[in-house]
Amino acid sequence: MRSILHVDMDAFYASIEQLDHPEYKGKPVIVGADPKGGKGRGVVAACSYEARTFGVRSALPISRAWKLCPEGVYVRPRMKRYVEVSAHVMEVFRRYTDLVEPVSIDEAFLDITGSAALLGRPDQIALSIKKEIHQTTGLTASVGLAPNKFLAKIASDLRKPDGLVVVQEKDIQEFLHGLPISRLWGVGPKTEQRLREMGFHTIGQLTAASRESLIRSLGSLGEHLFHLSRGKDNRPVVPNWEAKSIGSETTFDEDTDDRELLLRTILELSDHVAERLRKDGYRARKVTLKLRYSSFSTHTKQQSLDKRIQTGEELAQIARALFSQFPLTQKIRLIGVSAGDLHRDGEDPEQLPLFAYSNGKEKLGHTVDEIKQRFGTDALRRGSQLL
């Protein structure tokens, strides 16, 4: 049996702001766009637990947050600082196992099955990691420990902040029984509605359905849900997304094999990644494309480059070439683009800031970022994205 951890930092951006500004401690801290007295556009990126008691949530329009919590402390994100803290956290993880799969800036899966002989019981390892994160960064994390990724991910979310939830093999059915079907990996709003129409509201109810009937009504997703609802998930912890990579991915509302839409999405994701590269001052020498087919099989292809790139167009050009190497024999569920092998601007003479704007495409990239910052992301879309 495997021992998988899902470690998720608690209110990551907001907690870092409270750490760096002790005067924010105990206050509702809202990280995101400028609220401009309630007229601001853009959204909440993250907020402290104090802000959540006012009903503020991430992804909420910032103007709405302002209405709910006008007395909040509103701050702009400091991505560079968050990336720096994230690197410390990931370093802690790697002291316990090589099998670390970062999911986002503040979350990772760890396979510690092989660490037990050397480091002790899995729950003790989980506690040590929590403690070491706190000592290293001053921040708390919540951890789920379970036989697989699906269960570990749910577990880490149940007792936030500073939680540790252990799911043992014998308790799996009971653990899942009353949870809503939306907790199942792969169930988005659309599938959720479909399942509810079929009379399934909890994971426990779903286990009453036969495998055949689920496949009949949902295809390969039905097969997938049949196993997940029983707490079965064989996905390995894959340490392939490098610590230093910036990526963006999207799950389609409906699986698709529309090549035009897929290529357009690759450009949008590339633009998004490029925006973050420029904001954090990085250039990439590797591009990775990730595809998940409707059968849930997931594939990646990478290309290393002999130059460093930073614009959405350059990223998209390579990502599209990688995409063309995949057969479109099945519909696509998810697509992702990431930039790896990152180097700081100015890490070598060729990258000095003096030359940063020397290339026309890069100049355009910076202008796009400025417009987005001033008017919001939707204000500017490139011609080909309007198709």
- Residues annotated as catalytic (active site), given as ranges: 107
Q: Is 314 helix (H, G, I), strand (E, B) or coil?
A: helix
Closest approach, Cβ 37 to Mg ion, in A, equals 29
Q: In terms of Cα–Cα distance, which of 365, 368, 337 is closest to 266?
A: 337
Is 66 within 8 Å of 40 (Cβ atoms)?
yes
Of 104 and 213, CB closest to Mg ion = 104
Of 57 and 264, CB closest to Mg ion = 57
Q: Which residues of 289-318 are buried (b: 16+ CB within 10 A; e: fewer)?
A: bbbbbbeeeeeeeeeeeeebbbbbbbbbeb
Distance CA 207, CA 113 (A): 28
- What separation in angstroms does the CA of 54 have from each of 36, 61, 156? 19, 14, 23
**Structure-block tokens of residue 333:** 């569920």
Contact positions vs Mg ion (CB under 5 A): 8-9, 12, 106
Q: Looking only at Cα atoms, what is the longest distance across the chain?
A: 65
Q: Is 329 helix (H, G, I), strand (E, B) or coil?
A: coil
Structure letter (DSSP) for residue 54: T
Distance CA 187, CA 149 (A): 16
Closest approach, Cβ 8 to Mg ion, in A, equals 4
Name the one residue in this structure whose structure tokens are 């990579």.
Answer: 245
Closest approach, Cβ 258 to Mg ion, in A, equals 33
Of 86 and 148, CB closest to Mg ion = 86
Closest approach, Cβ 79 to Mg ion, in A, equals 15
Of 106 and 345, CB closest to Mg ion = 106
Measure the CA dihedral 193/250/11/244, to 10°: 160
Closest approach, Cβ 372 to Mg ion, in A, equals 25
Closest approach, Cβ 5 to Mg ion, in A, equals 14
Q: In what order do the strands lie in the sheet with 282-293?
A: 246-256, 332-344, 282-293, 298-309
Element counts in the chain: helices (H) and strands (E): 15, 12
Distance CA 257, CA 261 (A): 8
The partner residues of 332 in beta bridges, in order of sequence, read 256, 293
Of 143 and 337, CB closest to Mg ion = 143
Closest approach, Cβ 176 to Mg ion, in A, equals 22
